[in-house]
Amino acid sequence: MSTAQAIPATTQGIVILKDIMIVSGINSLVKIAHDKKIPLMALDQSSVEEGADFAIGVYEKEIGEQGADIAASILANESFCKANLITMKKMHLFINKKSVLDKSNMEKAGKKFYYTPELIGGEL
C-alpha cells in the first residue's frame, strides 16, 4: 500500500514531526497532501521551506543558543543537577507564503496564541 493510499479519505490534516525519516521524504508528503487538498503541518521551519503549509516551532539557531548557555553554565561549575528544564520562550508560526491555505486566518490565530507569524518561502 502506498502512502497516499494509507491516508483515510476523512483525513482533515497531516502533522509531521521533525524526524530524519519523515523529513527525508517531505517532498512525497507535500505532493500527497496538496493532491488531496489536506493541510500539511510541521514542527520546524525547514519543512515549511520544503513545502509544508505551516509549522509552529522555533528557529534551530535559538535551540543552539539556549543549549550553549546551558553548556556554559555547566562548564562554569554549576551543578548539572541544578540545570533547569528550558522551554523556548519565543514560538513562531511559520507560514508558507505559497500555501493555498488562508494565510490571514492563520496569522490571526497565531497572534491570538502569542506565536510570531512569519511568512517564509516554500514550494507548491
Nearest-10 Cα torsion for 26, 29, 35, 36: -150
Structure confidence at residue 88 (pLDDT): 76
- Percentage of the chain modeled with pLDDT above 70: 90
Structure confidence at residue 123 (pLDDT): 47
Structure confidence at residue 80 (pLDDT): 64
Mean pLDDT of all residues belonging to the chain: 82
Mean pLDDT over 63-82 rounds to 80
Which band of pLDDT confidence, cut at 50, 70 and 90, is reported for residue 53? Answer: very high
- Identify the sign of the CA torsion 50, 54, 57, 59: positive
Does the pLDDT at position 46 exceed 60?
Answer: yes
Structure confidence at residue 100 (pLDDT): 75
For residue 50, give the nearest of 6, 98, 106, 2 by alpha carbon.
98
Cβ 110 vs Cβ 116: under 8 Å: yes
